[in-house]
Chain A
Amino acid sequence: MISLTPKAADKVKEIREAEGLEGQGLRVRVIGGGCSGFTYDLFFEDETTELDSTFESDGIPLYVDMMSIQYLDGTLIDYVEGLHGAGFKFLNPTAKSTCGCGSSFSA
């Protein structure tokens, strides 16, 4: 299972509305690459496959493919703002380490 904090969910809704994608879900996946080997990837999508795991968090449908869920199970996605910038932050219990910018992890 993966989930969004209320702040992250609000941000997702804000972006989704701004892009005219109301009703679409958020695809969360892991791709190879990044300083620590695996990188998070987020995008809106309205189609799922029978191999996807689907969740809903604060009104946002979340879709995760069968490979990525192995790396993401238990992940909480937050949205943080600070002096160094703003962005989604992944609190991933599977990650052994995370790179400095937080966009990639090792497993």
Chain B
Amino acid sequence: MSDPLEQARWLTETVGVRPLTLGCIHVSGDDARTWLNGQITNDVSRTSSGDAAYAVAVDLKGRILTDLFALDRGDAFDLLVPRDRLEAMVEHFDRYVVMEDVELEGREITVISAQGPAAATLELDGFSCDRLGRGGFDVIDGDLDAIVARAGRAGGGLVGEEAWELARLRAARPGYGADFDETTYPQEAGLTATAVSFTKGCYLGQEVICMLENRGQVRRRLVQLEGDALPPPGSKLTKDGVALGDVRSGAIDPLDGRAVLHAYVKRAGWEPGTTLDSDVGFVTVRHVVGSEPRPAAP
């Protein structure tokens, strides 16, 4: 396998392929579409067979339970969730099936994910799932070797976790577990543009999400920062001795040897260009996650 720097370049400039072990919740029954639309933040009321919608499921207080891709299969949906959220999300969703004609079935699956600007040229029989901010497709029950071969002809290839994580951080894409969890609101994690519809109508937790959006009361935002050294996850970030943030995830970018990291930072420190102090030196806010324009490719 090539080195992570080359693989990260594929994910940014051509296409990188990686098998992902995920949880899959199959939602079927006559009421599947209307019921699911009342459970997640994005609109699946008018998607068509073959479409995919990125969304989050939130609790009553608007905090994120998981992110997911809802794959429209015409008369049913497959919800792709992080593997470690499968059992909890089946249990959560099942609680809100009363007498509707809805069946839920959870299983672990392997998805072949092709990510990068050239992913569309592979003409894969899959769903459009942009996982790293540069376009991408997920193939269920796909042939890994065949897809990697296609990627190779498009100037890409098989990538590992290290390159995937680097590409995610460079693109300022929030990751479940690393950057957001059950303590986070979608607005804090910068997920509203990609995962939330404000026109779809009611869903579980919608009232809190809308109030938060309309009143603009988010106290912290996930930001992308850069620095000479990498403060580990959990490190505090300060400005003039005042604690303003904490680090969530990061990596050293082998391209320039500098650290690229994600951290939650309070309003007083989240403006791009703001320099904050950490235990290993200064870091500078480069981008507020979820805002435009998106970070350019390195």
Listed in ascending order, the chain A residues whose CB lies under 8 Å from chain B are 29-39, 65, 67-68, 71, 97, 99-100, 103-104, 106
* Interchain residue pairs A-B with the least CB separation, the first 5: A33-B38, A32-B96, A35-B207, A35-B206, A34-B202
Q: B99 contacts A29, CB within 8 Å? A: yes
Residues of A within 8 A of B100 (CB): 31-32
A34–B205 Cα distance when bound, in Å, is: 8
B interface residues with partner A (beta carbon < 8 Å): 34-35, 37-39, 60, 95-100, 102, 202-208
Verify A34–B99 contact, CB threshold 8 A.
no
Most chain B CB within a 10 A radius of its CB, from A32, A35, A38: A32
Name the one of B37, B98, B206 contacting A30, with C-beta atoms under 8 angstroms.
B98
Minimum CB–CB distance for B131 against chain A, Å? 28
- List the A residue with the shortest CB-CB distance to B206: A35
Q: Across the interface, which residues of A come within 8 angstroms of B37, CB to CB?
A: 33
Assembly CA distance A106 to B59 (angstroms): 11
Which residues from chain A contact B202 at a C-beta distance below 8 Å?
Answer: 33-35, 39, 99, 103-104
For the complex formed, measure the closest distance between the CB of A107 and the CB atoms of chain B, giving whole angstroms.
Answer: 9
Contact B60 A32 (CB under 8 A): no
Cα–Cα distance between A31 and B97 once the two chains are bound (Å) = 7
Rounded to whole angstroms, the CA-CA distance of A56 and B252 in the bound complex is 70
Residues of B within 8 A of A35 (CB): 202-208
Residue of B nearest to A99 (CB): B207
A38: which of B96, B203, B206, B208 is its contact (CB, 8 Å)? B96
Whether A39 contacts B38 in the complex (CB less than 8 A), given A34-B204, A103-B202, comes out as yes
- Residue from A31, A97, A100 whose CB has the most chain B CB atoms within 10 Å: A31
New A-B contacts (4) at CB < 8 Å, excluding given A33-B204, A35-B205, A68-B98? A36-B207, A37-B96, A37-B204, A67-B99
Give the chain B neighbours of A97 by CB distance below 8 A.
Answer: 60
Q: Which residues of B contact A30 (CB under 8 A)?
A: 98-99
Q: Which residues of A contact B102 (CB under 8 A)?
A: 32
Which listed residue (B60, B96, B99, B206) contacts A68, Cβ 8 A? B99
**CB-defined contacts of A31 to chain B, threshold 8 Å:** 35, 38, 98-100
